[in-house]
Amino acid sequence: MLKRLITVLWPSFLIAGVADVLFFTLFDPTQLLYKEEPLFESHLAAYTVGFFLFWLMGIGSSALTCYFQRSADDINRCPLVPSARPEGCPKKEGCADCS
| Three-state SS at 35 | coil
Query: Regarding predicted confidence, which is higher, 90 or 59?
Result: 59
- Global model pTM greater than 0.75: no
pLDDT of residue 18: 95
Share of the chain above pLDDT 90, in %: 35
pLDDT, the chain, mean: 84
Confidence of residue 91 (pLDDT cuts 50, 70, 90): low
- Give the CA distances from residue 4 to residues 10, 41, 78, in Å, rounded to whole numbers and listed in that order: 10, 37, 20
pLDDT in tens, 4-47: 888 889 999 999 999 999 999 998 888 888 898 888 888 898 99
